[in-house]
Amino acid sequence: MNSSTFLDFLPTNFRHEKAFFIQNNLTNFDKLSNLSDLDINEVQRKSALCTLNNLKKIRAIAIFKKEIDISPPEAYLLLHCGIASIKSLSLTTPYELERKIGRLERSLRVKTETQITFAVLKKWVKRANQIYKSI
């Protein structure tokens, strides 16, 4: 996945953050995943329209992409289900994830366009456990 595609997937409510990252050549998900809290605060100081919540979501999506190879839309889905870090993913089970995704789809009355199977969820949780244990 190239860097422009990574930022292009973001919804319109991320337009200010996206514009800031493009302007400052921070379009690579590897760079975005390495942003520290200090870096995020600096971005917010430089561009008042960038929100802390959106910046942290972008970083979390980039970390999921980099560490577990989860596509940005799938990572965004995890965020909406309350899974915002490798640690929280490692502490859940594939059954819980499946239930959370189903609940989200029912509450939104929408079927997600991602091809997430139970085997995929199992792989994500296993990989998150490996990463979390190695930290």
pTM comes to 0.88
- Across 105-113, average pLDDT: 77
Q: What is the pLDDT of residues 23-59, one digit of tens each?
A: 998 888 899 999 999 999 999 999 999 999 999 999 9
Within 10 Å of residue 13's Cβ, how many Cβ atoms?
Answer: 9
Q: In this structure, what DSSP letter does residue 125 have?
A: H
Structure-model confidence comparison of residues 90 and 104, the more confident one: 90
